[in-house]
């Protein structure tokens, strides 16, 4: 999900204003302490930024549905209940040392998109270096603003809806 896979899309990349918010999904491991911790903001080799979704085109529910319809690397649908979603203010993210920018990067795979790879107009990226300082600052931003940034959402309420959508995807 942190891959940049923008294909020729009908969606133009737009400027994200400072007042906007982006959603970041964080994998929740039962055994880890703080959520999110710095590991949630680690880049893999070759990645330029962290995947987020711009709130202009999506809400928390939409983020979970998108996760639920996406394939993991093992070609099975992602367990969307294993994630928490954090809402980050773009202005604050841009002010963190080591963050280059927050850019809109819509992802379009086709019409209809292949199973497990939904199109995502809200897809954006936090361009940053993979340095320890940056990851600490991102984790601390979420923790210091936990009440605002952590999106409380009853994920299991989406089970039926996501199952119906998955059924529709079957050829």
Partner 1 sequence: METVLENTLDQKPYQKKAYRACCDKIWEVTPAKYMIAKSYIRKMKVPNDQYNNWLYLAPVNWLKYDDKFSFMLKIYRRSYFIPNQLKSIALAINESKWICNLKEDWDYDGASIIDKEIYLSAIDFLINYSIDIFKKTGIVINTPEINPCKDGSIDLSWRTTTARMLVNIRKTVDELLAYYYGDLSNNKSPIKGNVHLDSVYEHLATWMKSLA
Contacts of 73 (CB under 8 A, 6+ apart): none
Least separation in angstroms between CB 98 and partner 1: 10
**Nearer to partner 1 among residue 100 and residue 140 (C-beta):** 140
Q: Are 84 and 35 in contact (CB under 8 A)?
A: yes
**DSSP class of residue 42?**
P
What SS3 state is found at 104?
Answer: strand
Interface region with partner 1, contact rule CB under 8 A, candidates 16-24, 58-66, 73-81, 113-121:
73-81
Contacts of 35 (CB under 8 A, 6+ apart): 26, 28, 84
Among 140, 145, 166, 169, binds partner 1 (CB under 8 A): 140
**Site for partner 1 contains 115 (CB under 8 A):** no
The most distant pair of C-alpha atoms in the chain lies apart, rounded to whole Å, by: 47
CA distances from 16 to 90, 122, 167 (A): 8, 11, 34
Interface region with partner 1, contact rule CB under 8 A, candidates 4-12, 71-79, 101-109, 160-168:
71-79
**Site for partner 1 contains 38 (CB under 8 A):** yes
Least separation in angstroms between CB 8 and partner 1: 24
Judged by the rule CB under 8 A, the positions of this chain that interact with partner 1 are: 1-2, 27, 29, 31-34, 37-39, 42-45, 72-74, 78-79, 82, 131-133, 135-136, 140
């Amino acid at each position: 999900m942190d891959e940049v896979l923008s294909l020729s899309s009908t969606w133009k990349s737009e400027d994200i204003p400072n007042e906007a918010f982006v959603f970041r999904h964080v994998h929740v491991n039962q055994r880890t302490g703080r959520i999110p911790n710095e590991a949630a903001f680690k880049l893999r080799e070759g990645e330029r930024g962290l995947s987020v979704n711009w709130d202009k085109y999506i809400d928390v529910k939409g983020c979970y549905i998108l996760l639920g319809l996406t394939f993991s690397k093992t070609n099975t649908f992602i367990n969307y209940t294993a994630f928490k979603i954090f809402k980050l203010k773009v202005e604050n993210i841009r002010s963190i040392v080591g963050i280059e920018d927050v850019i809109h990067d819509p992802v379009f795979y086709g019409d209809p998109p292949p199973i497990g790879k939904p199109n995502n107009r809200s897809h954006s990226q936090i361009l940053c270096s993979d340095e320890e300082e940056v990851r600490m600052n991102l984790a601390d931003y979420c923790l210091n603003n936990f009440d605002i940034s952590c999106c409380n959402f009853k994920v299991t309420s989406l089970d039926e809806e996501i199952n119906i959508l998955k059924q529709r995807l079957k050829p």
